[in-house]
Amino acid sequence: MRLTWTTTTLELAEPLRISRSVTARRDAVHVRLEHAGLDGWGEAVSSTYLGLPTDAVLRSLAALRPAVERLPDPETAWAELAPTGPVGAGRPAGVLAAVESAVLDLAGRRADTPAHRLLGTPRPPSAPTARTLGIVPPARAAAQAVRLAAAGFTVLKIKAGAPDPADDLARVAAVRDAAPGAELLLDPNGAWSEERAHALLPRFAALGVTAVEQPVPPGRPDSLARVAAASPVPVIADEDAVTVEDAVALAGRVHGVNVKLAKCGGVRAALRIHAALRGSGTDLMLGCLTASSLGIAPAVHLVDRARWADLDGHLLLADDPWTGIGGHDGTVRTAARPGLGVRPRTDSTGDPTRNTTWDPTPDSARTRTQDTAHLRTQDTARPRTQDTVRTGIPGEPRT
């Protein structure tokens, strides 16, 4: 197999202000895994908050490449790249999720079946997604809400955590009046003290907020649990639920856990969290970082397992270089194509398959442990059936 990558910049349509930062752009590293005439794709985005700058992503991929390229096929890679597997263990979560995505995409294309079927969901998943509104003046938030409701969005997530809580209350009231039929989620990104959370949540509930993400700073799970126990609306852990272990520790103590594949390490880690939460009274939210459709696609293939979906990162971009998961009408959905089902947008200035050098290292300088021609001949003689790949990529059975 051959693992290569390139880096591009994703520009947001407008800067997104949250309680702790403003984001206008972020780097994306597009990962490509090739084998026997087919390829699979994944995306890792830089994140200062998660401690994964672009150069760290690139260094990690360079360190990972020899081990991946020694593997004979994507089914073997799926097993070896498990978060606790011999190749995957100890890798940064965002990098592991991106390479796992490429493996899943390639395996689906080899089997000529969508990724969701490999993961145990027979029918194409779809779900309403929240659409994020940043910390902006109330009139602007109201105008955005009108436009989004007209486009078909039924869930709006309002960022909070302004220095003056009155600003947040006014913004939520403006959105409620502008889109009275929308479900409202609130996200202070850990900006409130426990005392402020207890005081404010009843007021936001009275304005129609139906759930709140991470109201208090991360690192104090007991504080978050106390807020959840007293809250009139469900409390969803986000920044306090980074790893599988974090999520398991919060089961039964909060109403929901926001699982982002870039935080936990990919679809298998997300499935572990989902299984651990079952029966605990804590539900799953699937979230994302600002990313392209490629980066968000793996989570869309899991979306039937979530109570809440917040998979709008691609909708915040000025120019999404990929397409295939919908969302512009308020619903994310998988495409009826093998693998992840995404493809490059040919009209995008950021088309990842045009005018790019996938690997700056010449072939002569790389160690080859497989005869590519032999693999291609061997693979084309292999039946491309779903059962072939299922033996290497077991999902969580669904009916």
CB of 47 closer than 8 Å to CB of 25 = no
Per-residue pLDDT, 83? 85
Q: Which helix (H) or strand (E) holds 2?
A: strand 2-17
Residues 6 or more apart whose Cβ sits within 8 Å of residue 227: 194, 197, 198, 201, 215, 216, 235
Cβ–Cβ contacts within 10 Å for residue 129, how many? Answer: 31
Selection from 115, 133, 135, 132 nearest residue 124 by Cα: 115
Measuring CA to CA, how many Å separate 218 from each of 28, 131, 155, 214?
26, 23, 25, 8
Q: Is 189 helix (H, G, I), strand (E, B) or coil?
A: coil
* pLDDT tens over the chain, length 399 residues: 999 999 999 999 999 999 999 999 999 999 999 999 999 999 999 998 889 999 999 999 999 999 999 999 999 999 999 888 899 889 999 999 999 999 999 999 999 999 999 999 999 999 999 999 999 999 999 999 999 999 999 999 999 999 999 999 999 999 999 999 999 999 999 999 999 999 999 999 999 999 999 999 999 999 999 999 999 999 999 999 998 899 999 999 999 999 999 999 999 999 999 999 999 999 999 999 999 999 999 999 999 999 999 999 999 999 999 999 999 999 999 999 999 999 999 876 655 654 343 443 433 333 322 222 222 222 322 333 333 334 356 555 453
Per-residue pLDDT, 28? 98
Q: At 236, give phi and psi (nearest 5°).
A: -115, 125
pLDDT digits (tens, 9 = 90+) for 113-128: 999 999 999 999 999 9
Residues 6 or more apart whose Cβ sits within 8 Å of residue 148: 131, 156, 179, 182, 330
Q: What is the DSSP letter of 192?
A: S
Per-residue pLDDT, 341? 98
Distance CA(355)–CA(374), nearest Å, equals: 29
Helix boundaries (H) for the chain: 54-69, 74-80, 93-111, 115-118, 138-151, 165-178, 194-206, 221-230, 244-250, 261-264, 267-277, 293-300, 372-380, 386-390
Sheet containing 155-159: which strands, arranged edge to edge? 131-133, 155-159, 183-187, 209-213, 235-237, 256-259, 283-286, 308-309
Written as six digits, the tokens of 263 are 């935080």
Terminal CA-CA length for the chain: 34
| String of DSSP letters for 208-239 | TEEEEE--S-TT-HHHHHHHHHH-SS-EEEST
Distance CA(379)–CA(392), nearest Å, equals: 15
Per-residue pLDDT, 359? 43
Distance CA(116)–CA(125), nearest Å, equals: 8
Q: What is the DSSP letter of 254?
A: S
Distance CA(87)–CA(283), nearest Å, equals: 31
Per-residue pLDDT, 392? 54
Selection from 142, 133, 182, 183 nearest residue 162 by Cα: 133
Per-residue pLDDT, 374? 25
